[in-house]
Structure 1
């Protein structure tokens, strides 16, 4: 009940909330959705700590600012007094921030609006009650809105996407040409509001000619006109917009949008449009594109839209609070701990926290939790895939954000979420328990928050154990933990992740120099090895995963879904028909191989006993990882469960890893290991050839694979091995040595330690850098003699000799960027080698 009168009210029934009208309006307008409202009301009902003169709005401010966890440490106060001005100050700050960013007028009255994204002085707002969206900007003193009412109700997903993009593209096009059009008298008024209506469109190539010859704006008419405001309605021709913005090579489409817009305004409002302005707009076609549409063929059976919701700050704070309580119960004193002291605290807390997490997981119904986790992982896959496609496409046009930073931030967050969900899936499959309640989305998010903190403890423990970096834990007076690393490491990680993002986006790379295996040459031996030892061919396994990722294309009557379920015999039949494969036993063997086995999921390769937890500290020895075995047995029945996204990912991992010359997990099969080893050897040899090819672009004196002891036996040289590439520049007295190494990537802390030791360990003198050092000393000692033996010309100037060393690899890893000790050797990825020569000023 809402009333403005002074009257007596009966005491509210249980579960009700009594609010003044002021509080009611403030609370409802401050929260974005019903979930937040219900959560806050629950918070009010459970709040027994705050007292004094604080009212509902003060508590709302505390609720929002603390993410609903007012006490986030182990020390529980008996009472909390809030500043009686807290709510007023908070509300004023929020309103000030909102109205400073809000438009001068909203395009549609009687709606509550959320302020969304903004860049380059164009802004978007979305109504809270429906999907009414407006993109707007300011031209001179005129605020121009392109808006559409309740998009999702009237249009299909594809049409809604094109319309939303069109609103943004028209706004951006207008703002980018402000200097050309701001003097037009149509923009002398305060507001122009354009209601954009779209009908369903066709995007196939059959209609492309008609679409390209059509106008963007049709059937327009005025709805209001005075000295201050101009309101009009127009139809957006989505087919034409799609055709013009598709794979745009320049800014022609946006120039056309501005031209049509001004023509429409001139027609309806009798405004001016001088020829010189029209000419300038036409000339702006040559600018770089800022918006383009790329039609991507859908090759996976997943819904196009994902409503994936990650854990929120509240979930992480609750998990951290639980960890703080554990630390207090262990008798740990507040302070800063490093090395062995830190490791003991972290390990003790981790073990106790792990028991609590396992108990919490096992309070839920096992089957329902698996289904929920698989569904959420598929939703995350769709969201990640869409983001990656958008980032890659952005390379073709201008953007107003830092691509590398955006790519790293989003990829890092999505990777962590994926890792945490996979932990839950593997735990549920590998452990056995009965009963439990159904797990809801909120419960799932709380579990993700807990598993994320458990992962932090595992990583810190592994880093301390392996001596990879300086690390420790700091515990404040409320026992809130913070795992820390050296400030230097943080700075280095930022730079390295930026480098990784640049490589991912292809910056500084020469595709011509990339090295990859010719996998087709090795397929016969791989097929033979897999068939002999596993009962199916390698290619059949890849094809099985391909069919499962495109399930709706092969199984009639099935709609796209985030999870699919099938009885094993039916699965074999569908795959057999799709592939035209008569050997059903082989298909069945492949399906069994790709299925997470409950009895083996928590057992490491070479062992017979279960680990106490999902062995996240290992990688190669985890033969039953969800990323490799995407089929989940539906416990309690004979059915199998899978997601198309994970099937596609597993297909890429198996095919990609073997094409790179390594298995994604250890295998006992000598035949398979031998076949994969031959792929690795071919890549190593190709790496040397590719390096030589690049160096020859910049030097006339180049040798590959030169071993001076073997080539000049009479000289009795020391045995230092061969130089993969040796080059010389007589006019600069400059020498270059290149060591080509292809090393398997690291996927966990233990792998990083292995890789670092293989490359840098000095204890036995057999590491890569130790061998490079021997060749460096040999070259310095025999430089002139070697030049004469090779019959290379003498130095043409008197400058001191310069010797540069490169370690050329197929990929770039952390230990190459941050070496454990200073080395004169530079590390360069093969497809960045050409760029290295250019950057360092080499000429032939």
Structure 2
């Protein structure tokens, strides 16, 4: 579609009006769609909407032989300056998927049938109805989930493997497309007024499509990990049945992981019909909802200043000679070429891998390698072949964790870093003699690789000796920039700011305790307000196990646990309480003698995580994302009168 003209170029939006002779009081409007396109494109206020309304009413009045009051337009003028309620934006289609998708999602009946199957498995195990907590609950959940897993495996083995692979790939892609489109519409709605809750819309997209996509991904990886196949036809009903079973399976294993990792307390109730009900501690659902709303805010960028965001390394890193050399030595191909290959796979139709837009594409490995070599400048066939092989998820690799020589009993969905064969980073699937993939998944895989490397870590623990030192330096660079940016933001509000101040080293003659450095130390003399800031960049969690590790890394088992970051924060807090006045005097910062002092403690990071919204034990610390720090200082820290 061509770029729109200016709306001022159009004399009329509503070109003519006719009375509907069959339906009294109704009219048929003829509209210049080019004018509508021009008026709604990137609309910022309601001026175009008011113009359309006035034109419509005026022409309707005219065909009825009536005239508008002279001040009619003036009565509507205040609507013209209000935020636009209708908005249009041109969004290029960067991924070769159908514009409209209709994923297969289980119905309530399918979930009930899956629950009935689970009840049969529990009854066959001889588990006694009752309510069980903690370890007693886990002892009953684990056999039930294992029995249900075996049932799922038998169902998969009875079906045609080729049909399963194609169906799971396509349905997974359809769900990713549906999720992306819904969230994209919410992002676009930020430009105009809406009556729905944007945060709920983002969260519902994650629940409705994201969770279901994970179920399909599990089924796909499970099918890949086994060569078993039969003649059973894969129908839509069977697909819904399988996803419903996996949903219940994940409820059980999720509860077991939560209990095992001490993320929450809870248990299981088994009623007289052998139907299980998982429960957690009081307030668990409310805590989860509160976190998800905070997470949705971060995805929408509410309250954020994009210029304050501490982003990963620039795209120059991906094409740097040092990283290129490291990848060539360890893997025999360039990372930049692999990322470009994933772009080509995500645009499969336009690169000749299909005649029309589809939810999956297939071609022999040699054809894919040749297509990549033909499409990517400077890429020879030998390197393209290595990239194709690397991006292919293998049957032998799916159930293997790095550093272990044994197969796991199941697809190890509970792990992330040690899973070097995951569909999320290797989107090519061997289907007979062809490789099959989804264009949306190829695009997501490209993003997963690119964002991970730019953020200072690899998507998995590959153990590459030359690549990993380069990536580690990226992480260290981000951590340093986080401190620098925090200092810059505080300097907008007070000139009394220091970064990386270590009082033990700077004032050795004072004999201070060595508590390490304060990442940022800021003071407002007029209000006697002192703020200490800890800046931390933590790798994001992807599983329950990762979440527990992150919790322990930040908080430890208790605030004085030396294994956690908060043990050092506690020591600095106590040091400040004992020496506050003396520290300000040593820095020659003016102290107020008439205003009561206040100390504030911040933990600034790039992202928001569950434990920052709900710490495992009470702390006086405020957790703030770096891109919202300026807003937080203005609204939460400094009295409004000092912001004027």
Output the TM-score relative to the length of structure 1: 0.73
Matches within 5 A, 1:89-168: none
Aligned with 2:227: secondary structure? coil
* Structure 1 residue 220, shift from structure 2 partner: 4.1
Aligned with 1:559: secondary structure? coil
- The answer for the alignment partner of 2:250 in structure 1 is 455
- The answer for the alignment partner of 1:612 in structure 2 is 409
- The answer for the alignment partner of 2:392 in structure 1 is 595
CA deviation map 1:331-377 (0-9, x unaligned): 33333221111111111110111111111111110111100111111
- The answer for the alignment partner of 1:551 in structure 2 is 348
Distance 1:260 1:309 in 2: 45
Distance 2:461 2:129 in 1: 43
For the Cα contact (< 8 Å) 2:7–2:38, is it kept in 1? no
- The answer for the alignment partner of 1:204 in structure 2 is 2
Distance 2:297 2:554 in 1: 24
Distance 1:801 1:235 in 2: 69
* Structure 1 residue 282, shift from structure 2 partner: 5.2
Aligned with 1:208: secondary structure? coil
For the Cα contact (< 8 Å) 2:317–2:454, is it kept in 1? no
> CA separation of 1:209/1:719 partners in 2, compared to 1, >3 Å: closer, same or farther?
closer
CA deviation map 1:556-609 (0-9, x unaligned): 873221111112222122211211224221111111111111111111111122
Aligned with 1:230: secondary structure? coil
CA deviation map 1:662-696 (0-9, x unaligned): 11111111221111110000000001101111111
- The answer for the alignment partner of 1:476 in structure 2 is 271
Aligned with 2:374: secondary structure? helix
Does residue 249 (structure 1) correspond to residue 47 (structure 2)? The answer is no
Match of 1:416 among 192, 203, 211: 211
CA deviation map 1:67-115 (0-9, x unaligned): xxxxxxxxxxxxxxxxxxxxxxxxxxxxxxxxxxxxxxxxxxxxxxxxx
Match of 1:684 among 476, 479, 492: 479
* Structure 1 residue 521, shift from structure 2 partner: 5.0
Distance 2:45 2:104 in 1: 37
Distance 2:637 2:544 in 1: 37
> CA separation of 1:726/1:612 partners in 2, compared to 1, >3 Å: closer, same or farther?
same
Does residue 345 (structure 1) correspond to residue 140 (structure 2)? The answer is yes
Does residue 836 (structure 1) correspond to residue 628 (structure 2)? The answer is no
Which entry has the higher C-alpha Rg, 1 or 2? 1
Match of 1:759 among 535, 543, 554: 554
> CA separation of 1:282/1:720 partners in 2, compared to 1, >3 Å: closer, same or farther?
closer
For the Cα contact (< 8 Å) 2:37–2:88, is it kept in 1? yes
Match of 2:310 among 481, 493, 515: 515
Aligned with 1:552: secondary structure? coil
Distance 1:651 1:275 in 2: 59
Does residue 818 (structure 1) correspond to residue 614 (structure 2)? The answer is yes
For the Cα contact (< 8 Å) 1:661–1:677, is it kept in 2? yes
Distance 2:8 2:343 in 1: 35
* Structure 1 residue 717, shift from structure 2 partner: 2.1
- The answer for the alignment partner of 1:783 in structure 2 is 580
> CA separation of 1:533/1:792 partners in 2, compared to 1, >3 Å: closer, same or farther?
same
For the Cα contact (< 8 Å) 1:723–1:738, is it kept in 2? yes
- The answer for the alignment partner of 2:30 in structure 1 is 235
- The answer for the alignment partner of 2:95 in structure 1 is 300
Distance 2:315 2:78 in 1: 50
> CA separation of 1:219/1:834 partners in 2, compared to 1, >3 Å: closer, same or farther?
closer
Distance 2:51 2:181 in 1: 28
What 5-or-longer segments of structure 1 have no aligned partner? 1-202
Decide which moves more: 211-220 or 750-759.
211-220
Distance 2:353 2:250 in 1: 42
CA-atom RMSD in angstroms: 1.9
Aligned with 2:278: secondary structure? strand
- The answer for the alignment partner of 1:623 in structure 2 is 420
Distance 2:326 2:484 in 1: 29
- The answer for the alignment partner of 1:284 in structure 2 is 79
Distance 1:519 1:656 in 2: 10
CA deviation map 1:352-406 (0-9, x unaligned): 1111111111111011110011111121122122112110000011111111112
> CA separation of 1:787/1:615 partners in 2, compared to 1, >3 Å: closer, same or farther?
same
For the Cα contact (< 8 Å) 1:522–1:679, is it kept in 2? no
- The answer for the alignment partner of 2:197 in structure 1 is 402
Distance 1:706 1:278 in 2: 63
Aligned with 1:501: secondary structure? helix
> CA separation of 1:230/1:650 partners in 2, compared to 1, >3 Å: closer, same or farther?
same
Distance 2:617 2:326 in 1: 42
Aligned with 1:551: secondary structure? coil
What 5-or-longer segments of structure 2 have no aligned partner? none
Distance 2:482 2:354 in 1: 49
Matches within 5 A, 1:424-439: 424-439=219-234
* Structure 1 residue 508, shift from structure 2 partner: 1.3
> CA separation of 1:648/1:738 partners in 2, compared to 1, >3 Å: closer, same or farther?
same
Does residue 651 (structure 1) correspond to residue 446 (structure 2)? The answer is yes
* Structure 1 residue 714, shift from structure 2 partner: 2.4
Distance 1:671 1:463 in 2: 36
* Structure 1 residue 210, shift from structure 2 partner: 8.8
> CA separation of 1:219/1:330 partners in 2, compared to 1, >3 Å: closer, same or farther?
same
Matches within 5 A, 1:793-812: 793=590, 795-812=591-608
> CA separation of 1:779/1:215 partners in 2, compared to 1, >3 Å: closer, same or farther?
same
Output the TM-score relative to the length of structure 2: 0.95
> CA separation of 1:269/1:509 partners in 2, compared to 1, >3 Å: closer, same or farther?
same
Does residue 574 (structure 1) correspond to residue 371 (structure 2)? The answer is yes
- The answer for the alignment partner of 1:76 in structure 2 is none
For the Cα contact (< 8 Å) 2:7–2:39, is it kept in 1? no
Matches within 5 A, 1:633-644: 633-635=430-432, 637=433, 639-644=434-439
Aligned with 2:289: secondary structure? helix
Decide which moves more: 367-376 or 268-277.
268-277
Distance 1:211 1:566 in 2: 50
- The answer for the alignment partner of 1:747 in structure 2 is 542
For the Cα contact (< 8 Å) 2:353–2:361, is it kept in 1? no
- For these two proteins, the number of residue pairs brought into alignment is 636
- The answer for the alignment partner of 1:187 in structure 2 is none
Decide which moves more: 520-529 or 392-401.
520-529
* Structure 1 residue 232, shift from structure 2 partner: 3.8
Aligned with 1:838: secondary structure? helix
For the Cα contact (< 8 Å) 1:738–1:806, is it kept in 2? yes
For the Cα contact (< 8 Å) 1:244–1:253, is it kept in 2? yes
- The answer for the alignment partner of 1:537 in structure 2 is 334
Higher-RCO chain (CA-CA 8 Å, sequence separation at least 6): 2
